[in-house]
A = this chain, B = another copy of it.
Amino acid sequence: MRRAIVSPQVQAVGLQCLACPTRRSAEWGVLRDRDMQALSAAKSSRTYRKGEMVYAQDQACPGLFCIASGTAAVARTEPRLPTVLVRMAQSGETFGYGNVVRGGMCDTSAKVLEPSVICRIELPILATLFDQHPRLVQRFQSRLAEDLARTESALAQLAWLPVRSRLARLIMSLAEYRGTANGRGVLSLTLPMTRRDMADLLCTRPETLTRTMQAMESDGIVRCNGHQVDIPDPERLHEAAQAQHLG
């Protein structure tokens, strides 16, 4: 049995929302400094290890989560079907609002893809915030509409694009966040997740992912070394992201 005492890697950390590098981003941007400070005092935050669950499907919703640093993913498991990672959340992004709206039961789970620090705002605190700040409610409603649009888009891409194109798009979107211009204009990137997570995100099998990655490497589109990925020619990656057949 796991000990109740948190290990050195899993510790509560006292983050100040006002000092959060992502405080202006998205939903929370509508709060004034004093509200931010109140939020800061009321929330809790802690580190998560790679692969750790943030919340689990069919359990009571523990609140709303906001990523201070790291990467998480929201997963959906249909009865008798393998799990799908339906969306990723990166630094500064909030997730878990759907569960809040639904009244507190989780219809998804969430897990951490790389070591992360994540803040949690419990339901009662949230309720107070929403009462006092109608604009915050609006923001989160917009976020819900945005998530819906993105999921529809993912559905269309899953339907019509081969794994190769979907993988190219995933790499592009990751590079947008964390790509760094290497020597001689080579774009470089550290993948924030395992191959298995990438497979779950692309809705394919780990074996297929490996082979597709190697195919792209032998085509000179990417150069891989563990979680390190180099993109010699972004334009060619962009080509690979397009549909090949388009009936």
Contacts and interface: CB of A to CB of B under 8 A. Distances in A.
A153 interface: yes
A156 B81 contact: yes
Interface string A82-98: 10101000000000001
A247 B82 contact: yes
A203 B157 CA distance: 10
Interface in A71-111: 76-78, 80-82, 84, 86, 98, 101-102, 107-108
B142 A141 contact: no
A151 B158 CA distance: 13
A243 interface: yes
Contact of A151 (B77, B148, B205): B148
Interface residues of A, number: 37
A153 B76 CA distance: 7
A205 B160 CA distance: 11
A84 B168 CA distance: 21
A161 interface: yes
A81 B161 contact: yes
Contacts of A194: none
Contact of A159 (B80, B84, B147): B84
A215 interface: no
A152 interface: yes
Given A82-B160, A141-B144, 5 more contacts: A77-B156, A82-B247, A86-B152, A102-B145, A141-B141
